[in-house]
Amino acid sequence: AGDLKENMSTYIDAKDLIDIGAYKPGSNAVVDYAISLHHPINQFLRQSVDDFSEFSDTQAQLQQLFM
């Protein structure tokens, strides 16, 4: 969960630059990584409330995002 929050925070910090096209890919590896995971993280967080998954499966899915 710490990696998820850190990654989201990095993306949010750079969001204005990304949105206006001022961020240049390759200028910051941490931001590049946050950008690459932005969509997969949002998909993970937007699972339907009707989707059931065991805690261990959810943990594994989250860990898979950061491999």
Spans of all domains in the chain: 2-65
Dmax over CA atoms of the chain, in Å, equals: 41
| pTM (predicted TM-score) | 0.81
Both tokens of residue 66? Answer: 């950061």
Predicted confidence (pLDDT) per residue in 18-59, tens digit: 999 999 999 999 999 999 999 999 998 887 888 888 999 989
Instruction: Report pLDDT for 40.
Output: 94
CATH for 2-65 is: 1.20.1270.330
Pure H helices in the chain: 2-20, 29-45, 55-65
Query: How far apart are alpha carbons 35 and 31 in whole angstroms?
Result: 6
Higher pLDDT, 48 or 10: 10
